[in-house]
């Protein structure tokens, strides 16, 4: 089995969990997905599938969402391979690389959403890979492009590059300090948005945040990526300073070691608690307090502990209680 991309750590992994590049593209000669007939949709899916098969060196599995179990679809949402809206429709299809690094949603909001994921800070490489796939597909499918508006997309907010670049950041010290709201206000003035990567509460579960560019029109892909990267570097510096203060807090060590003890021995863990504890464990590893668990183990768990992932792995639907038990089993096994 090919190792999944998220089981690794990349550049600046102390604070950057992962990178995501997503390109929205539409094929000339077809209406946007919300106006397509069933026949047109099937025709487009076939065309994209065939185009991908013609690209040398690119092996993507073709997955019809309507043929999938609900738990497998949920797992794909949790791993950020498909969007929640795409999962709901169930009329689309997905092309997916064995390492889950490259995925193409067919008939989401746009005809194609080409996505490349990567561990750590990996904007350039991820963009290069997305661009390669996009170029190869463009040759065969011919994407709708306008000299003034750039790539045509169903929603005008994606016009231009059609590119969304995101970084998943781990910001426990800034969250602890209550600094995320102000940070969010600041980055939005710079054309970026920041939100919790998991859950939907006011505070991000486990202090994992997704930061992405909002502007796609009147800016090149490279400039957008540079902008995102530059602001990320500033946030990393702020988090670094906040962490130094956090590390000298009297309760810091206790909190890290308690999290370690609970992850190592608990027999039942809710998703929310697991995220919180893994967040504490992560900063414990980065700060050098915990030496017998690697960041890779935490990264792998962050990809595996979600409800759908657990059920997909089990191959059956599970009650919340069984999931909490399985989650604790998975974490314990990984911590040994």
- In the complex, the residues that contact its own copies under the rule CB under 8 A are 250-251, 253-254, 257-258, 260-268, 321, 328
Instruction: State in angstroms the smallest separation of the CB of 330 from its own copies.
Output: 15
Between 127 and 260, whose beta carbon lies closer to its own copies? 260
Between 62 and 257, whose beta carbon lies closer to its own copies? 257
Query: What is the Cα–Cα distance from 319 to 249, expressed in whole angstroms?
Result: 39
Between 46 and 258, whose beta carbon lies closer to its own copies? 258
Strand order in the sheet with 112-119: 61-64, 93-96, 102-106, 112-119, 16-25, 163-170, 208-213, 192-196
Query: What is the Cα–Cα distance from 76 to 87, expressed in whole angstroms?
Result: 9
Instruction: State in angstroms the smallest separation of the CB of 257 from its own copies.
Output: 4
Between 133 and 263, whose beta carbon lies closer to its own copies? 263
Instruction: State in angstroms the smallest separation of the CB of 321 from its own copies.
Output: 7
Query: What is the Cα–Cα distance from 95 to 44, expressed in whole angstroms?
Result: 13
How many Å separate Cα 138 from the centre of its chain?
24
Between 253 and 317, whose beta carbon lies closer to its own copies? 253
Instruction: State in angstroms the smallest separation of the CB of 252 from its own copies.
Output: 9
Query: What is the Cα–Cα distance from 130 to 28, expressed in whole angstroms?
Result: 20
Query: What is the Cα–Cα distance from 171 to 282, expressed in whole angstroms?
Result: 11
Query: What is the Cα–Cα distance from 277 to 317, expressed in whole angstroms?
Result: 25
Instruction: State in angstroms the smallest separation of the CB of 84 from its own copies.
Output: 31
Query: What is the Cα–Cα distance from 44 to 33, expressed in whole angstroms?
Result: 10
Query: What is the Cα–Cα distance from 206 to 282, expressed in whole angstroms?
Result: 10
Between 21 and 293, whose beta carbon lies closer to its own copies? 293
Between 98 and 261, whose beta carbon lies closer to its own copies? 261
Give bridge partners of residue 93 from the DSSP assignment: 64, 106
Between 226 and 329, whose beta carbon lies closer to its own copies? 329
**CB neighbours (10 Å) of residue 129?**
19
Between 296 and 329, whose beta carbon lies closer to its own copies? 329
Query: What is the Cα–Cα distance from 39 to 43, expressed in whole angstroms?
Result: 6
Instruction: State in angstroms the smallest separation of the CB of 171 from its own copies.
Output: 24
Packed helices 295-304 and 307-314: angle between N→C axes, nearest 10 degrees = 80
Copy the structure tokens of residue 163.
């590119």
Q: Are 201 and 142 in contact (CB under 8 A)?
A: no
Tell me how many degrees the CA angle 40-46-50 measures, rounded to the nearest 5: 145
Instruction: State in angstroms the smallest separation of the CB of 146 from its own copies.
Output: 59
Instruction: State in angstroms the smallest separation of the CB of 333 from its own copies.
Output: 14
Instruction: State in angstroms the smallest separation of the CB of 292 from its own copies.
Output: 12
Copy the structure tokens of residue 310.
């657990």
């Amino acid at each position: 089995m090919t190792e999944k991309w998220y089981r690794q750590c990349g550049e600046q992994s102390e604070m950057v969990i992962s990178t995501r590049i997503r390109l929205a593209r539409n094929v000339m000669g077809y209406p946007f997905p919300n106006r397509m007939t069933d026949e047109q949709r099937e025709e487009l899916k076939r065309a994209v599938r065939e185009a991908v098969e013609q690209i040398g060196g690119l092996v993507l599995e073709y997955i019809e969402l309507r043929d999938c179990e609900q738990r497998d679809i949920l797992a794909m949402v949790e791993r950020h391979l498909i969007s929640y809206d795409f999962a709901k429709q169930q009329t689309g299809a997905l092309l997916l690389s064995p390492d889950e690094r490259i995925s193409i949603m067919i008939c989401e909001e746009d005809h194609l959403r080409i996505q490349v994921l990567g561990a750590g800070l990996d904007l350039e490489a991820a963009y290069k890979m997305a661009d390669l796939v996009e170029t190869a597909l463009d040759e065969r499918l011919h994407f709708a492009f306008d000299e003034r508006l750039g790539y045509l997309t169903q929603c005008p907010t994606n016009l231009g590059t059609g590119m969304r670049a995101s970084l998943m950041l781990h910001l426990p010290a800034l969250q602890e300090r209550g600094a995320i709201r102000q940070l969010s206000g600041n980055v939005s003035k710079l054309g970026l948005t920041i939100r919790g990567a998991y859950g939907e509460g006011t505070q991000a579960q486990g202090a994992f945040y997704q930061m992405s560019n909002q502007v796609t029109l009147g800016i090149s892909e490279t400039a957008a990526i540079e902008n995102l990267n530059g602001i990320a570097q500033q946030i990393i510096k702020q988090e670094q300073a906040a962490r130094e203060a956090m590390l000298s807090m009297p309760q810091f060590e206790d909190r890290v070691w308690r999290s370690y003890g609970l992850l190592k021995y608990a027999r039942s863990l809710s998703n929310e608690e697991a995220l919180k504890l893994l967040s504490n464990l992560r900063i414990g590893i980065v700060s050098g307090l915990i030496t017998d668990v690697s960041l890779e183990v935490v990264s792998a768990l962050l990809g595996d502990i979600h409800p759908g992932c657990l059920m997909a792995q089990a191959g059956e639907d599970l009650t919340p209680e069984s999931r909490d038990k399985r989650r604790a089993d998975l974490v314990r096994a990984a911590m040994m």
